[in-house]
Structure 1
Amino acid sequence: MVGRYENMTTVILPMDVVFLLYGLAFLGMGLVILVRYDDHSRPELGNTLWLLAAFGFLHGFREWMDLWRAVHGDGPGQPQARALLLLLSFLPLLEFGRRLLRESLDRPPWLTAPWSAVLAAGAALGLGLGGPSWPLSLEIWSRLLCGLPGGLMSALGLWLYCRRRIVWTDQTPERRLILWSGRIAAGSFALYAVAGGLIGPQGPVALAALINQTRFLALTGLPIQLVRAACAVAAAVSIGFLMRIFLIEARQRLLDSNRRLAESESRFRLMTESVEDYALFMLDPEGCVMSWNAGAKRMKGYEENEILGRSLACFYTPDDLAAGKPQTLLAEAVARGWAEDMGWRLRRDGSRFQADVVLSAIRDPAGTLLGFTKVTRDITQRVMLEDRLRRSNQDLQRFAEVTAHHLQEPAARLARYADRLTGLLAGRLDDPEARLALDFIGQQARRQKALLRDVQRYLAADQPRGEISAIDVAALLTRLTGAMAARIAAAGAVIDLGALPPVLLDRPRLLDLFEVALDNALTYAAPARNGAPPLRIAVHGEERAGGVRYCIDDNGPGIESQYRERVFRVFERLTGDGEGTGIGLAIVRRVAESIGGTAAIAVSPEGGCRLILDLPAKS
């Protein structure tokens, strides 16, 4: 005999044709799956079908090895190769059935183990290699332990998937065909599980001795290979029709995407056309106008048919064009993603307006430049109002400075003459009321002088009054405390200077800042001692991230939390005893904030007041 199937024919086809169709059907099924594979539409199905494709390719090639045996007979090692390839081909079928069944049954725990196929293959390999005539034993056990459960699980998984997962509200003929294709595929795999898994060759296995392809041939007159081939053809064709689900849903996704895009474009068009306070339009990569809205028409004076296709250079003044501003802004938007500018722009009639412009680059997912969006706002009125307000504030501040300066001299003279008059009349003034009145005049003259001095300091606190440089704060405070020695001694205070890192600031304002801070502590902390230990004022600092922090601590009564912001207001005082001008801490905060720093009140370690100055490292 040339081969096991020599001269065997069916009532329909010769066996070599049967094997040819058998292998071709499974190879075709694998090819169809690869061509129409799509894991974006239904990931639970798409991520599983590649296993069925692997089964189709492996099993189809294995059946063509049977075709070779039918025509040319067995060569050395071929029975062993066929047995191992059969086992290998059933593994992806078993895993496909497990995964699809798991998805169709909402992931039951007993189907989540991914090693079931490996376990079945190991059992088949162990039992097959342990029996006599191991290639035949391995083939029988592979069919029983892998082919039979793999086919049944695939059939059940396909049936349940079609029933539970493929749900459409509108059942078109094409969709009904897909549902029936899934059911036919399920039936084909169920029949194949019996024909290819249960009914195998007769061999040294008890079940194979009772149920085998020889008995099937004797009972039906048909070789089991013909039934398997019919199952393979039916499964391949039905799987091919089932794969159309990806085509339908891809087409539906495209339609949905186009619909959403049309809706988005419609909403965007309605939005841009309804906005009249802003000019919203698009530019191509060369800077030519591609779209126009009602706000742009009102602001710039161009009709849509006049401006489309023209360069944005027509909006710029001759000076800006000579400086290359349009090209500079486009290049900046390309490099950074956006560019912003404020300046003069031209209308169609040649008139000018102040514009606030934001230009943004538009790119596709690959990073290719598609064009630009440009948003323009007419800020002419705002700029005019801001300029008017700025001039008004400047005039007001100048008036206040001049007034304070001119009032300073009369106040100083009044204080000097009050002191002189008190000295001249000291021995001749017997009337207590007159003496009290004269003392009051002197006190109020000195108070007015101090008040005008602090007003001048406050008005000048936000502008540099000298060169900004790194100042040695320790040396500055040493000289300052020396100059205030009489004031410190009168208050019975002790000044402790700790580590004081340098800071970038002009010397006059830094001197004002620390002089006001020390004077404030001497004014409000010292009178409250009432026999307590002497007033101690500690000044220390430290470098912090991005700046320097200075702390002025005292052991006075402190400031309650609800008043710690109030004391920084102009003319705010917590006591009514007439001491102080009510401007000192406002000067401190104004200096600190003018250079980007802060001033705050907290509790000192001794329970008194702590003035915290956080100043930036750079001016």
Structure 2
Amino acid sequence: MRMATTEHVILIVDDTPANLEVLFSFLTDCGFKILIAEDGESALQKAEYALPELILLDIVMPGIDGFETCRRLKAQAATRDIPVIFMTALSETVDKVRGLQVGAVDYITKPLQHEEVLARVQTHLRLRNLNKQLQAQNLQLEQEIKQRQQQEEALRQSEERFRLAIEGVKDYAIFMLDAEGCIVSWNTGAERIKGYQAAEIIGRHFSCFYPEADWQSGKPQQLLQIAAQEGQVKDEGWRVRKDGSRFWADVAIAALRDEKGLRGFSKVTRDITERKRAEEELQRQYQRSQLFAEVTLKIRQSLQIGEVLQTAVTEVQKILHADRVLIYRFWSDGTGSSVAEAVLPGWVAILGQKFPEEVFPEDYRQLYLQGRICRIPDIEKEENISPCLVEFVRQFSVKAKLVVPIIIKQELWGLLIAHQCANSRYWTNFETELLRQLADQIGIALTQAQLLEQETRFSQQLARSNAELQQFASIASHDLQEPLRKIQAFGNRLQDKYRDVLNEQGRDYIQRMQNAAHRMQTLIDDLLIFSRLTTRAQPLVSVVLAEVITEVLSDLEVLIQQTGGRVDVSELPTISADPLQMRQLFQNLIGNALKFRRANEPPCVKISSQIIEQPQLIADSGGAELCQIAVEDNGIGFDAKYLDRIFQVFQRLHNRSEYEGTGMGLAICRKIVERHRGTLTAESQPGQGARFIITLPVNQLSLDK
């Protein structure tokens, strides 16, 4: 949004690029022209060259800091009058005093809030413009005085022109006082701001504009004395209109002198009530944000639902100084109960108390679901409240209450309620907004706590599943293999003793039985390997991958010779890993590359690696250095649409008659890689070979999460 009516030039000085980028974008959108500097030296140069209208200056910077930069700016005539606002995370009073001593006009505390930055920038730009106007007016008055010394008639004409100009100004009350402080002139702006006509006010002492406490303390006369001694004085404070209403005024009084001495005073008054209210609102917002941040931190320190709720009511009770604060939980049948409470001694506790459905009927619940906030300063005088609720709260001496909804996933979970029991109470907007924001945070904290409970349940289910898997592995290793071994043994005996007796069909049946038993044995072995990858894994040690590949190639030597294959291995790193699982991983990948070869073309396998400097690729790598290993072949390849399928258990893309196997190999590979906090993927096209890419942390202490 563009808010500046003219393109003011602002210099932003900060050594943090992120801060510069945010401020540059925000203030540019607001219509300001922005210059930036990343250190004090360049800030001094740009300020002297460009003469910006305002400087936003960071305190902590390399080289000369913000205090020294400000001091040098104020020491140079060209930049002395440029307002400097410090931006800092420093909050000590001594730092603020030091900043004001070197010439700063204001502070903005980090982290920066856009609304606060804009309000302070606009305020000080307006003040700078007003000061320029006042200085110009004072200069004009001085020139007129000098002209009067030279020629009385010229001075009279100049004063007349000045009087006519002043009378036309509507936004400023500009008038003259004699040496005693009595009003001698009155302009249109003064009539509008103060409510007096010229005939009503001329001749009266200007102290009539001050509240009683100020004129009784002698403040008006003190301001005139300072102006007479120092030439001018500035002041802000409450002033009184003709009708008795008050406004916050920005006042400048300048002494007027001639050859005889003090002749009187010029007085410029501006109504800045709206600016004052905006500043007070900013202060309230800051206080609210501070309280909000402190309480939110305490609420969200725990992920246990009971602790979250109790912390919330305790902290809210301290902030509001309420007699009772409770959290009311809605149940599915329309009833509800108090699930957390903080109550002062002497008042009845409601914790655990069940509320009937009539206390918060369906129409009330719908209003709360829409975000309604209920503020009742006096229960006895409130008309729009159900008799059932009035009767219910009387049991607990409630005189006033404030209710905000707690909404989770667009459902009304409950209510955050504050009770005043000793007396009625008006709930301020500050308190209401703070409670609303805290209710939102309670909703977030409850969501997180619920997620933790779900995760805990899932973890327990996973532990049970792992235990069942371990039990299955035990059964498979003995109970399933024992009858299988007998089938294989008796099959061998049949072949040995009755081969010549059986006809061709009988021998074929026995061979099929033996093949099926062999496949079942292989499948059971693969399932055992898969189930034991986690339960019987070895601790991590330093593994030289080149040595692992050498051992694998030795195991596959016969297959390589039979297929006429070739395996080219580039330089491989040393990593922290389970050596047996690394051997299993590469044996499966290289074995697949040799097995799934194209007809009439010897298989060629290439193994290469590289260190990558992007640890964010693996979220659980802990920021460790990563290595990427590629196993590439010239085989039959596969369609990329089956990429996810090939890593699932028992999934095959080819008939067993074409290529033998159980469909477990790549599933085992992926589980090994994931156990090492890595990733395994592949790239391929039919008939163009395949490239399997493994990404693993180079160094990690253990695999325990």
Q: TM-score, normalised by structure 2?
A: 0.44
Between structure 1 and structure 2, the one with the greater Rg is 1
Which one scores higher on RCO, CA 8 angstroms, separation ≥ 6?
1
Q: Which has the higher strand share?
A: 2
Q: TM-score, normalised by structure 1?
A: 0.49
Q: Which has the higher helix share?
A: 1
